[in-house]
Chain A
């Protein structure tokens, strides 16, 4: 064995022993018997491992690295290809999902527009329909208040009755108008 190799082994051995010793000291300070046993065991293992390192010689077959590299290149290319396909599939899948979402939103918007427009048409029709007109009025926001006009009619009716009951002014005026009409009329007009 070369001197350099021997020196390296010795350095490794000393480093390992030193590390083990530090660990052992720490463990012993903690007074943990089980850990202490393990530390002693580890120290013995470290010594045997140093022996093993000197005994085992690396025997890598010629060309192994080149063969592994070639295989790794092929595998990496395949992995990249598969990843690309997965990515494309992901984009496609998400594209479809977005498309479906867009369709859904458009559909909902169309349905809402249809409902609003229908209500507007109904309101327009209601404006021109006497029966509905009597039942539906619109507030400032444009929304219908179905009983507002009925309520107003009731108010007018009540006020009219009240005015007849409390004062004869309107009745007198009406009579005077009638007399004038009657006196102004020619006799033959009655024949």
Chain B
């Protein structure tokens, strides 16, 4: 009962925040950036393999969000709305890359691969880690990125939309324009492969 009340309160606050953001009030826009920018960055980073592209795409998502917010009709699935914009942007990027085959679909940054960059694999959590533990983490990150790079685009997208967007599989299926079973199968296959490659490499 208490959980339901808390959930209802959260939903009310979220609706209020979105309503204020629709009037482009700075505080609410800040709250939306804080809530979604890290998730969007994670999604784009994992599906593109590039930090620079990920940041550009995050900025582009927010440009679109600000422009479209006044016309947005809140139906309780703001996450799905934002990640639909993100997924569409990612698709546009894929189409552009198909037309110019100089760059691959998924090219991990040099910084991430070589760990030579100042931001390579660093997080706030890393601060207190011993050098050996940090190296272990960085090694794991590199393996994960290598595994993600091997994953077919559709499987990678399904896994990441679920992970970062927290979308339901119905929403993922609708977004990817596939039947529900296909979306489930893609996510399942993708995750299985990731686990397998990560543990065997």
- What is the interface of chain A, defined by CB distance below 8 A to chain B? 34, 38, 41-42, 44-45, 48-49, 51-53, 55-62, 64-65, 67-69, 71-73, 75-76, 79-80, 83
Q: Which chain A residues border B125 with CB–CB below 8 Å? A: 57
A79 touching B66 by the CB < 8 A rule?
Answer: yes
Q: Which residues of B contact A72 (CB under 8 A)?
A: 29-30, 33, 62, 66
B162 touches A79 (CB 8 A): no
Cross-interface CB contact of A56 among B42, B169, B192, cutoff 8 Å = B42
- Kindly report which residue of chain A lies nearest to residue B192, judged by CB atoms: A48
A sample of 25 inter-chain contacts (CB < 8 A) reads: A41-B184, A44-B188, A45-B162, A45-B188, A48-B192, A48-B194, A49-B162, A51-B195, A52-B194, A55-B198, A56-B46, A57-B137, A58-B38, A58-B42, A59-B42, A59-B122, A59-B141, A60-B42, A61-B51, A62-B119, A68-B37, A72-B33, A75-B66, A75-B67, A76-B24
Besides A51-B195, A61-B55, A75-B63, 5 other CB < 8 A contacts?
A: A42-B169, A45-B187, A55-B144, A57-B141, A69-B33
B180 part of interface (Cβ distance < 8 Å): yes
User: How many Å lie between the Cα of A59 and that of B142 in the bound state?
Assistant: 13
Is there contact, CB below 8 Å, between B66 and A59? no
Q: Considering the chains assembled together, what is the distance between the CA atoms of A67 and B51 in angstroms?
A: 14
Chain A at the B interface: mostly helix, strand, loop or mixed?
A: helix
Report the interface size class on chain B: 35 or more
- Identify the interface centre among A51, A60, A67: most chain B CB within 10 Å of its CB: A60
Which of A38, A45, A61 has a CB less than 8 Å from the CB of B180?
A: A38
B106 at the interface (CB under 8 A from A): no
Q: How many A-B residue pairs have CB under 8 A?
A: 105
Tell me the B1-60 residues at the A interface (CB within 8 Å).
24, 26, 29-30, 33-34, 37-38, 41-42, 45-46, 51, 55, 58-59
Distance between Cα atoms of A88 and B114 in the complex (Å)? 55
**B contact face: mostly helix, strand, loop, or mixed:** helix
